[in-house]
């Protein structure tokens, strides 16, 4: 066997030995062996995640952090002024819908509010957390939403679930239409178990990554049934 030039072979053996020690310490093989020319090469096959077995249950929805994200705010003044998207996020067809209806939205037309809610479907992502959610335009400045509780999530942490859902709903609806407040109620077994109203003023300049949704709900006068 021919020795490798420049003394690379001893170095290669040492690195492989250290890799073995690392695997013993951390309970498995390390990602890559630190030896140039082997798994680090561009030609090395990519590691693929293990396939999820067929029929395996999907992960259950987790309410922790649900309120920290929300839809991007629709700028209806911008939509009125421009016939093509300016935000880099909205598709051309949806923006054309916004542009067509922007004048009536800004005028507080409730029929158009309803049409926008149906088209934009701002609460569509929340269906794993509640079997039913309804939205209604009550006035040019007020929207109302009602959700049916997920029994398992309600039992897991009642106040957090109700508050997290309500806050996320309010944030998404305030982002969708230029109203000043959103009222949210929750029902369980046909009975109202929660109600709260969030105003746009309460939401301004608030860092939701560090917001306690239960404390905010109580600050806004929430009633827990």
Q: Is 12 exposed, middle or buried (0-12, 13-18, 19+ CB in 10 A)?
A: middle
Q: What is the CA radius of gyration of the chain?
A: 27
Residue with tokens 């109580």: 218
What is the model's pTM?
Answer: 0.74
Tokens of 181: 């407040």
Q: Whose CA is closest to 156, among 186, 134, 129?
A: 129
Angle between helices 110-120 and 92-106 (to 10 degrees): 160
Q: How would DSSP label each residue in 30-62?
A: -SS-S-TTSTTSTTSPPP-PPPPPTTPPPPPP-
Q: Which residues contact 66 (CB under 8 A, 6 or more apart)?
A: 129, 164, 165, 168
Q: Whose CA is closest to 63, among 121, 1, 13, 130?
A: 130
> pLDDT tens-digit profile of 103-154?
999 999 999 999 999 999 999 999 999 999 999 999 999 999 999 999 999 9
Q: Could you give the C-alpha distances from 55 to 61, 74, 77, in angstroms and in order?
A: 18, 39, 48
Alpha helices in 82-139 (DSSP H): 92-106, 110-120
More confident site: 110 or 24: 110
Alpha-carbon distance of 211 to 28, in angstroms, equals 39
Sketch the domain layout of the chain as residue ranges. 66-224
More confident site: 18 or 155: 155
> pLDDT tens-digit profile of 50-94?
344 444 455 667 898 999 999 999 999 999 999 999 988 899 999
Tokens of 104: 């009536």
Alpha-carbon distance of 203 to 48, in angstroms, equals 42
């Amino acid at each position: 066997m021919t020795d490798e030039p420049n003394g690379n072979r001893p170095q290669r053996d040492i690195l492989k030995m250290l890799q073995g020690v690392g695997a013993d310490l951390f309970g498995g093989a390390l990602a890559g062996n630190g030896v140039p020319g082997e798994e680090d090469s561009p030609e090395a096959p990519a590691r693929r995640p293990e396939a999820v077995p067929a029929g395996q249950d999907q992960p259950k929805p987790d309410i922790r952090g649900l309120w920290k994200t929300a839809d991007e705010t629709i700028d209806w003044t911008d939509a009125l002024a421009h016939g093509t998207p300016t935000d880099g996020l909205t598709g051309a067809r949806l923006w054309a819908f916004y542009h067509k209806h922007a004048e009536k939205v800004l005028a507080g037309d409730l029929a158009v509010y309803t049409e926008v809610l149906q088209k934009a479907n701002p609460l569509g992502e929340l269906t794993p957390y509640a079997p039913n959610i309804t939205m209604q335009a009550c006035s040019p400045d007020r929207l109302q939403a009602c959700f049916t509780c997920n029994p398992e999530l309600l039992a897991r942490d009642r106040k957090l679930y109700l508050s997290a859902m309500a806050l996320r709903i309010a944030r998404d609806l305030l982002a969708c239409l230029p109203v000043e407040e959103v009222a949210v109620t929750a029902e369980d077994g046909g009975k109202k178990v929660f109600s709260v109203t969030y105003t746009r003023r309460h939401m301004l300049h608030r860092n939701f990554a560090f917001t306690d949704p239960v404390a905010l709900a109580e600050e806004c006068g929430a009633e827990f049934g």
